[in-house]
Amino acid sequence: MNTVKHLGSASVLLASLLAGCSLAPTYERPALPVAGQWPAALSPTAADDSNAPPASGLPWQEFFKDARLKQLIGMALEHNRDLRVATLNIERARALYQVQQADRLPTVNAGLGGVRQQVPDLVAPGGHGGLTSAYTAGLGFTAFELDLFGRVRNLSRAALERYAATEEGQRAAHISLVAQVASSYEAVLADEQLLALSRETLDNRSASHQRQVHLRDAGASSDYDLRQSESLLEAARIAVLQAQRQRVLDENALVVLIGRPVPAELLPVADQRWDGEAIAALPAGLPSDLLTARPDIRQQEALLRAAHADIGVARAAFFPRISLTGAFGSSSNALGGLFDAGSRAWSFQPQIGLPIFDGGRNRANLGAAMAERDIAVAQYEKTIQVAFREVADALAGHATLSEELRAVQAQEHAEQARHDLAKLRYDSGEASYLEYLDAQRALFAAQQQTIRSGLAELQNRIALYKSLGGGWSAPQGQG
């Protein structure tokens, strides 16, 4: 009974020694370096869907309505190289954490060895040399550190926080990739519409120019009118070339994001539906919501917690380090008697090291660790400020771009009506050809602006979705 009691007491003492203490400073989340509310001018309007889920709770499969875009995003999540690197970084950080975690437990090894040697009488103890043999077998552990001051535990904690940071970094890369693919896809769609509009305009102006050529040859028009018509024709040709070039550039960007050539059946077409119904509506929460919604902020906070643990490691260097080395097994001068009765052998070698003079190394390491912590605080605060600005910018666009698009569309309708009237007046001889050309120019510019404003409005919604934390969901085969 007393033996059991002593063993229990020893176990409690050993557990207490192994638990030790931690010299890391207590972590406290820094105060938000931004305002607690969005500016009133940037707050979502009453027309927004109040029942819509926050961005961080709306998966991208529900946010984006376009079936082609969904397929392209799925391909990008599978083949994009940047996202693959972010995923591999998680595997590396997980392995490093497991390595560091293993240091908290003793490493036990089994060994079997033997030595056979000839010792001359001149150097042998007592002057009796000769041929000797020694064989050993057993279990042992080497230099296991009793973590009395939390050095090993803080190393493990720091590795764990960095592992968590890589996971959040992968999520941030995931959300960013989804947004980039969507923005590039919408840009290609806008290019298709601009290209179709430019080609139609070129065809119309070519026919109009041929008419002017015939009129000039017949003496019914002047060289001035002909050169005006020629100028508009060449402007339309330039617009076609510019739209073709931009279309190729935006598709190339999409190819890089997806990680492979874009299948022709998934490319957007000019007559594809392109309006507010292509993307779901989003409300915006409070600035404090970003702390839990945005993975880049959580990533920086994990690195900040790791920096706190590093301070505990640096502080522990000022205190004694106790390590244990031991072995238990059997020993014999003959291999056949290695496991016979009476061959049991054991060794136990505790060691304690106390820093006395190190030239200021430990103090410098502590100073470096505290500076790294301060840097991590500044990076954490900057990440929050950048996130706040991204949301504020997207909200500013949200508050104005929809109205701007409606105004641009109204202007296009007005220019279309003016163009039709100018053509009727010119055909009936009531207006000059110059007035008709001016109406053509204004209509083409308004049509182009409608497409560009529609793209800006859609891309701003995508930016708002991303800045509010998106809707992260792991692709298939990924945890």
The CATH number for 372's domain is 1.20.1600.10
Buried b (16+ CB within 10 A) or exposed e, 178-209: bbbbbbbbbbbbbbbbbbbbbbebbeebeebb
CB-based contacts of 3-8 (< 8 A; 24+ apart in sequence): none
Shared domain check, 435 and 372: yes
Residue at which a domain ends, from 354, 372, 398: 354
State the pLDDT at residue 19. 52
Is 199 within the bounds of a domain?
no
Q: Taking 90 as the threshold, does the pLDDT of residue 146 lie above it?
A: no
| Cα 154 to Cα 253: distance, rounded to the nearest angstrom | 44
Shared domain check, 44 and 142: no
Q: Which residues contact 106 (CB under 8 A, 6 or more apart)?
A: 141, 144, 324
Shared domain check, 315 and 254: yes
Q: Taking 50 as the threshold, does the pLDDT of residue 55 lie above it?
A: yes
Is 411 within the bounds of a domain?
yes
Query: What percentage of residues in the chain have a pLDDT greater than 90?
Result: 44
Shared domain check, 456 and 387: yes
Angle, alpha carbons 371-161-392 (nearest 5°): 80
Q: Taking 50 as the threshold, does the pLDDT of residue 176 lie above it?
A: yes
Does this model's pTM top 0.85? My answer is: no
Residue of 443, 454, 456, 458 lying closest to 406 (CA atoms): 454
Residue at which a domain ends, from 334, 354, 374: 354
What is the tally of structural domains in the chain?
2
State the pLDDT at residue 56. 59
Q: What's phi and psi for 279, nearest 5 deg?
A: -140, 140
Distances (CA, A) of 193 to 240, 274, 444, 453, 462: 11, 10, 13, 13, 20
Quote the tokens at residue 424: 């009727």
Shared domain check, 333 and 305: no
What confidence tier does 125 reach under pLDDT thresholds 50, 70, 90?
A: confident
What confidence tier does 50 reach under pLDDT thresholds 50, 70, 90?
A: very low
Shared domain check, 32 and 120: no
Question: What one-character-per-residue DSSP string does 291-355 give?
Answer: HHH-HHHHHHHHHHHHHHHHHHHHHHTTS-EEEEEEEEEEEESSGGGTTSTT-EEEEEEEEEE--
State the pLDDT at residue 110. 87
Is 197 within the bounds of a domain?
no
Shared domain check, 328 and 310: no
Q: Taking 70 as the threshold, does the pLDDT of residue 42 lie above it?
A: no
State the pLDDT at residue 457. 92
Top-ranked range on mean pLDDT: pick from 270-274, 276-280, 421-425 = 421-425
Q: Taking 60 as the threshold, does the pLDDT of residue 97 lie above it?
A: yes
Strands 108-119 and 130-146: antiparallel
- DSSP secondary structure code for residue 145 in this structure: E
The H or E element spanning position 112 is: strand 108-119
Q: Taking 60 as the threshold, does the pLDDT of residue 18 lie above it?
A: no
What confidence tier does 166 reach under pLDDT thresholds 50, 70, 90?
A: very high
Buried b (16+ CB within 10 A) or exposed e, 435-460: ebbbbbebbbebbbbbbebbbbbbbb
Is 35 within the bounds of a domain?
yes
Beta-carbon count within 10 A of 249 CB: 13
Domain that holds residue 184: 25-104+148-192+218-228+241-320+362-467
State the pLDDT at residue 2. 47
For the packed helices 295-316 and 151-217, what is the interaxial angle rounded to 10 degrees? 150
Is 350 within the bounds of a domain?
yes
Note the pLDDT tens digit of each residue in 304-338: 999 999 999 999 989 888 888 888 878 877 776 67
State the pLDDT at residue 33. 84
Q: Taking 90 as the threshold, does the pLDDT of residue 363 lie above it?
A: yes
Shared domain check, 299 and 413: yes
Is 17 within the bounds of a domain?
no
Top-ranked range on mean pLDDT: pick from 12-16, 266-270, 271-275, 418-422 = 418-422
Give the distance, in angstroms, between the CA of residue 364 and the centroid of all CA atoms in the same chain. 33
Q: What is the CATH number of the domain that holds 135?
A: 2.20.200.10
Shared domain check, 127 and 251: no
Distances (CA, A) of 467 to 46, 111, 176: 21, 58, 9
Distances (CA, A) of 383 to 246, 286, 288, 387, 466: 33, 16, 13, 6, 14
Mean pLDDT, range 430-451, rounded to an integer = 91
User: Residue 351 burial (CB < 10 Å; 0-12/13-18/19+)?
Assistant: exposed
Q: Taking 50 as the threshold, does the pLDDT of residue 4 lie above it?
A: no
Is 473 within the bounds of a domain?
no
Is 305 within the bounds of a domain?
yes
Quote the tokens at residue 383: 């990440």
Q: Taking 50 as the threshold, does the pLDDT of residue 474 lie above it?
A: no
Shared domain check, 347 and 291: no
Question: What one-character-per-residue DSSP string does 89-105 give?
Answer: HHHHHHHHHHHHHHTTS
Residue at which a domain ends, from 354, 377, 408: 354
> What is the chain's Cα-based Rg?
37
Beta-carbon count within 10 A of 263 CB: 12
Shared domain check, 348 and 463: no
Q: Taking 50 as the threshold, does the pLDDT of residue 10 lie above it?
A: no
Strands 130-146 and 344-353: unpaired
Shared domain check, 160 and 72: yes
State the pLDDT at residue 105. 83
